[in-house]
Amino acid sequence: MKRRFPRHKFNAVPTVHDGIRFDSKAEGRYYEELKVRRDAGEVLFFLRQVPIDLPGNVKYRLDFLVFLADGTVEFVDVKGMKTPIYKLKKAQIESLYPIKIKEVK
């Protein structure tokens, strides 16, 4: 039986991988890619839906925080559509913290 989810405002289709619900097929695919990269030794581990605090008691949820075998860390957001609010929050994060958000389609 196929699970039904409410329709997303940007027509993203929720999907489930390993019993985990993802907001879009693209996010689910990236999760699967990270597992392959982890199994290959390129990725040590990764975290999902990592909150980042912004001024005004606002939180931004980063899709993935990826810890690579070479010691670097990637801050990854899977985006199909870059909304004005996303662009604003991304700019705030990158100006407040010494990080760069990697956007993946």
pLDDT band at 54 (very low <50, low <70, confident <90, very high): very high
Beta strands in the chain (DSSP E): 15-17, 20-22, 43-54, 58-68, 73-78, 101-104
* Per-residue pLDDT at 68: 98
Distance CA 9, CA 89 (A): 19
Give the domains, in start order, of the chain with CATH numbers. 15-104 (3.40.1350.10)
* Per-residue pLDDT at 47: 98
| Lowest pLDDT segment from 6-15, 70-79, 96-105 | 6-15
Q: What is the mean pLDDT of residues 68-95?
A: 95
Distance CA 29, CA 74 (A): 17
Token pair of 93 as six digits: 């994060």
Q: How many CB atoms lie within 10 A of CB 18?
A: 8
What is the rounded average pLDDT for all residues in the chain? 90
